Amino acid sequence: MGQPEAGMQRAESLTPNEEEALLRWARHAVTSALQSTPAALNHAPQQGVLGRPGAVFVTLRGADGQLRGCIGTLTPKFGTVAEETWRMAREAAFKDTRFSPVKAEELNGLRFEVSLLGALEEVTDTAALDPERYGLVVSTSDGRRGALLPGVDGVDTVGAQLSIARRKGGIGPSETIRMQRFITTHMAERSDRPETDAGLARPRGV
């Protein structure tokens, strides 16, 4: 997908082991909640990037590939990427108001995806946007805000990306907005993941 432009802060790069650990950790967060086992944040993976602060989105997809939940942070809210991922995985599974909470019988059919976000960058011209390469945040002076990750299926134009982000933030089509873009490092479990092995797809990267 090319290299970031000069001055653009890219998302963190992870090793294959870190990617696998993070995906397993996201799945474990939801599994442990469904099994009502105690939170085990003190056992969070801490190697490399996982032990540093970072903004994270966790996406859940059903067996049919359709969205089942997606929640995240645009700036770090917790101490480490691992903790951010744990909390956002649970939010996506149980608190995304677009969907009913995930049930235990769904778990084996779910596919977990994690996106690590780079820093938000101000944009003053829509020519600097690209829905495949950059995520988008739009906001208003009164605090309304909508965000969209890059590479969303069916979002092929800047106009579509802007329209969806506005709608998510409850922002009208003619209202003045602040625009910010960001890049991500994306990783996902394989759709053919064995139940005992998280599996990795090639990350989309930046």
Question: Mean pLDDT, to the nearest integer, of 91-96?
Answer: 97
Q: Coil, helix or strand for 10?
A: coil
The gap from C-alpha 29 to its chain's centroid, in whole angstroms, comes to: 15
Domain spanning 16-118+184-188: which CATH class is it, in words? alpha beta
CATH number of 121-182: 3.30.1490.150
Name the more confident of 33 and 196.
Answer: 33
Whole-angstrom distance, CA of residue 184 vs CA of residue 134 = 8
3-state helix, strand, coil in the chain (%, to 5): 30, 20, 50
Read off the pLDDT of residues 100-137 as tens digits, 9 standing for 90 and up.
Answer: 999 999 999 999 999 999 999 999 999 999 999 999 99
Domain ranges (residues) in the chain:
16-118+184-188, 121-182
